[in-house]
Amino acid sequence: MEMRAKEAIPIGQDLTPPIPPLSLCLHHSTLLSHCSSCFSPLPPPPPSLHYPPFFSPKNPNPNHFIRYCSLQCSSLDSPIHFSSSEFHFFHLFPQPLYTNFPTSSDLRLSLRLLHRFQTLNLIQESNGSLLNLERIGGLVTNFRKVMFLEDDLSGRIRHGAKALAASRRMRLGLDTNRELLYEEYTVEAAVLCLVLTNAVEVHDKDGRSLGVGVYDVPFSWVNHSCSPNASYRFCTASDSGGISECRICPAATETGAAGIESESISSNPELQKSMSVIGGSETCGPKIILRSIKGINKSEEVLITYTDLLQPQALYLHEVAVRSAYTLPSPDPTLWNFTGYVVVVVFLIKCFLMENLLNSGDEAIRVVVEVQEILILNLDCSNMASGDNFYEDHVMEKLIDCLNDAIDDFLSFNNPKNCCEKLEILLTQDHVNILLKPDGEKLHQLFRLHPLHHVSLHAYMTLASAYKVSVGELLALDPEGDEHQTKAFNMSRKSAAYSLLLAGATQHLLESESSLIVPVSNFWMTAGETLLSFVRRSAWNLFSRGWHIEEFSFSSCQICGKCTLLDRFRDKFTDFHDENAEFVDVTSQFLSCVTDITPKIWGFLIEEDGYLKVVEDPINLRWLGSRMATHATSPNASEKTGSGLEAEDNHNEIRVKLFLLGIHCVIYGAFLSTVCFGPNSQLMSKVESLLSFKGTLDG
């Protein structure tokens, strides 16, 4: 099914009122910290508490972890908790099921959703046979396609479905130990397939994943695209706001007719009944709102992305959890393999962007190629077959293995130093791939990463974070020592440089593909915060004769003569009628400012040796036009600002420019976030706090 716009909609507009969930479920890791009904945070439980406040079961179970924030939430949710057999699931499976089954939250969500479907009589039997398992409540399951694969995937689904059936049998007082026949867990398997197909991660305002949920048709029917025109956000009852009428509706046909009259719905009594009966819960959990991130024409299909747009693009699966993922190269894949998890592809998603990849000149298509591009240094491959799959096979496998190895050092082994060293090598060194010619001769092919390759972008992201963590670890050893202060200063400088490079590189991609606006907004905010943090480092005073940053403030610098970013951010679009033009104008003003400031400070940021010396300018990427024909660094990069910390006369000027660049990045990132997710008072407060510095910051 498809959802299409009823009218022309500019960028940065809500497309739907808050859409209520059909069912929600907390992750196992958040059961004790959040209310299982409304997902609001809770105070830590007393050590002796084994069952929820406001509720005392007849037979308290030490494995019972459901908690509520109020009597109202308890009265709304605890009947579902017991009637759906979720309570009994905890008794049978007290620990998270990470190995043999889908995760605990997906299984518990399936129990809750199944209970609701049966309460609404949406799952029926005829002559002892179950009907309508391919689509329940208007939501597709693709049940038959998955369950008859007879592979490891269907086996996992069967095991999960048996766990669900056992929990339901326990509630009815039936035997839970005997082996169940397929017919005895068919419904559970179908609903589990539905959950794995339609569920979405539910996040709080800080982006933390709290649980999973299945939402009503206006959201669940929205398809995927590599070039989406919409995003979504979550809201609670206290901050829902938004529009009152939905601006999108089902397409006239499933084949994508341009009309927006719901003929196919009205002519399908089953779908019409399920859509009118099921509805969302008006009283339980965060709701979801769709919002435009591009201008959308009347009757145009509304599309979101199901995955990370900066990853290799081919076929996508609805995102169920935050996981590292890769696509299978098969022309007709039936599953995606995630680290530690296997999920179902219930339908083959044919993204229009990828379908036209080879014969379209659209700039959006170019982005997909660019983030997968590897720079080949020697092209002596004239005798090789064109179908050698160079990119997809050995090279990509090698690059991703190197990237993951470095990230493991950082995240798993708490060794940011090793991580940084490995990533600097990955980005800087030439790599060798050995190809076999038809005559058996070995061909050594040299290649290096393109600066906009998706592996490069993830390396920048990791390096910015790893250098930042290294600063904290170094100062913890000796916060007062000049030597440690200097080393920490240089690491903080690298963190700021990589943050700025990441934001600039993805901004370059955003100019061709505006659907990248969501990650780009985060990258600019992070770059701005990192720059401002660097400006505040006390090590400046070791070289600047006690010069203090309180000698200037944002109020004295906000008029840079080029832009009105802060005023526009504060206006929150309230005074503008053409948001598409406004977005273009603000972006143009921002880029005009930062492209003027950045060359004056970039040489200072990249003074240390390493990959950054290759980057001539992190914002203006015209130097990439040469495709980095040589691997030489920019010869004058470090000469633009003298010799670093020894260039004392330049310190005040550099620091002011870093400060100005930081505030521009923060405001622009916040502006983009407002476009994607709407006005947010917490974001406004955060920006004001960053810009004011909350008083004196002289180290």
Q: What is the band of 330 on the pLDDT scale with cuts at 50, 70, 90?
A: very low
Tokens describing residue 42: 């809770």
Q: Are strands 303-304 and 223-224 parallel, antiparallel or unpaired?
A: parallel
Q: What is the DSSP code (8-state) at residue 393?
A: I
- Nearest to residue 310, comparing CAs of 524, 618, 516? 516
The span from the CA of 297 to the CA of 8, in Å, is 4
Q: Which of 98-102, 127-131, 216-220, 298-302 has the lowest mean pLDDT?
A: 98-102
The token pair that represents 72 in the structure block = 């109202």
- Nearest of 443, 438, 452 to residue 366 by alpha carbon: 452
Closest to 331 in 3D by CA, of 310, 314, 347:
314
pLDDT of 345 higher than 60: no
Pairing of strands 303-304, 325-326: unpaired
Residue type (1 letter), 63 = N
Token pair in block for residue 313: 């693009």
Tell me, what's the pLDDT at 269?
A: 56
Quote the pLDDT of residue 682. Answer: 76
The single residue listed with the structure tokens 């060194």 is 429
Query: What is the model's pLDDT at position 547?
Result: 44
pLDDT at position 511: 82
Whether residue 24 has pLDDT greater than 70? yes
Q: Given pLDDT bands bounded at 50, 70 and 90, which one contains residue 96?
A: low
> Per-residue pLDDT tens for 263-318?
455 555 555 555 545 565 555 789 999 999 999 999 999 999 877 777 654 322 22
Cβ 310 vs Cβ 45: under 8 Å = no
Residue 247 above 50 pLDDT? Answer: yes
Q: Which two tokens stand for residue 682?
A: 């917490």
CA 93 to chain centroid, in Å, comes to 30
User: What is the 8-class DSSP label of residue 371?
Assistant: T
Q: Which two tokens stand for residue 220?
A: 């669940």
**Whole-Å CA distances, 466 to 362, 528, 606, 624:** 36, 17, 16, 26
The H-assigned helical ranges of 429-571 are: 454-477, 482-510, 517-535, 554-557, 565-571
Instruction: Indicate the angle between helix axes 396-411 and 454-477, nearest 10 degrees.
Output: 20
Residue 454: burial class (beta carbons within 10 Å; 0-12, 13-18, 19+): buried
Closest CA to 214 of 84, 114, 323: 114
What is the Cα Rg of the chain in Å? 27
